Structures are given as structure tokens and as C-alpha cells.
Amino acid sequence: MTFYEKEIIRINGIIYSNQEQIETVIGVRSYIDNNSDTDLNLDLLSHLRFVSKFHLLRLFKKHYGLTPRQYLIDKRIEKSKEQLRIGMSVTETCFAVGFESVGSFSSLFKAKTGKSPSEFQKEQFSRCILNSES
């Protein structure tokens, strides 16, 4: 075995020292991606992967830079943008993407995008009209 092969194995062992942790956070992220419109919480996510919720929180933040809750909110906001673009009402969008309150949805949407959901929707419609006239 050459020096370089030994170094690759050594570095690989450092970087991927705990494959189970990586699989845990990837599994949780995948679960959030596929179930973002349902009622998700840290207890449920940690139970699914058989890990402490505090450990899961640290792992997720370490690997993705966000907590699972922050990731879930971002995912829901992205889905809500799609729904608003196709003409779904703000209230319908709110419940379709998994929020429980129109007020909290609107305030989170504005905090993340800088616009209220209705302002965002009006802007998208005006862009669509301008594009169709061109």
C-alpha cells in the first residue's frame, strides 16, 4: 500500500468516522421533505431514528446549519410559494403546506421573503401578465 493510499484511508476515517450519524440526519431530512405538510415535531423525528431528540438537534444543526424546525419552516415556505404562484388562496395554501394558523403562516412568510403571502401572489400574477404580453 502506497503512502497516498494510506493517507486517503486515514482521512476518510476522520471525515466519515460515524456513518450512522450521517445516515440519521439524511433520514430525518428525507422524512421532513416527504412529510412537511403533516404535524412534525422533534419527539416524532427522534423516535423515528431511535436517537435522543437533543442529539438529533445537534447532529442536524451540525450537518445542515439549521435545526429540524428551521428546515421544516423553510421547506413549507418554498412549497407555499409554489401554491401561491398557481393561484391557491392564502388560507388554502397555509393549511395545504402544514401550518396551523394563517397569522403565523403570514408572519413567517413575510419574515422569510420580505413580502406578505398576498403581496407575493400579486407580484407573481403581475409578472405572469407582463410575460404573456411580451
> Along the 134 residues of the chain, how does pLDDT read in single tens digits?
788 788 887 777 766 667 788 888 899 999 999 999 999 999 999 998 899 999 999 999 988 999 999 999 999 999 999 999 999 999 999 999 999 999 999 999 999 999 999 999 988 877 776 566 65
User: What's the pLDDT at 47?
Assistant: 92
Could you tell me the residue range of the domain that residue 28 belongs to?
1-65
User: What's the pLDDT at 23?
Assistant: 87
Which of 32, 49, 65 is the last residue in one of the domains? Answer: 65
SS3 for 90?
A: helix
* Total domains in the fold of the chain: 2
Task: Please indicate, yes or no, whether residues 56 and 104 belong to a single structural domain of this protein.
Answer: no
pTM of the complete model = 0.79
C-alpha–C-alpha distance, residues 128 and 13, integer Å? 52
CATH code of the domain containing 106: 1.10.10.60
Q: Single out the residue of 88, 77, 82, 53 nearest to residue 67, CA to CA.
A: 53
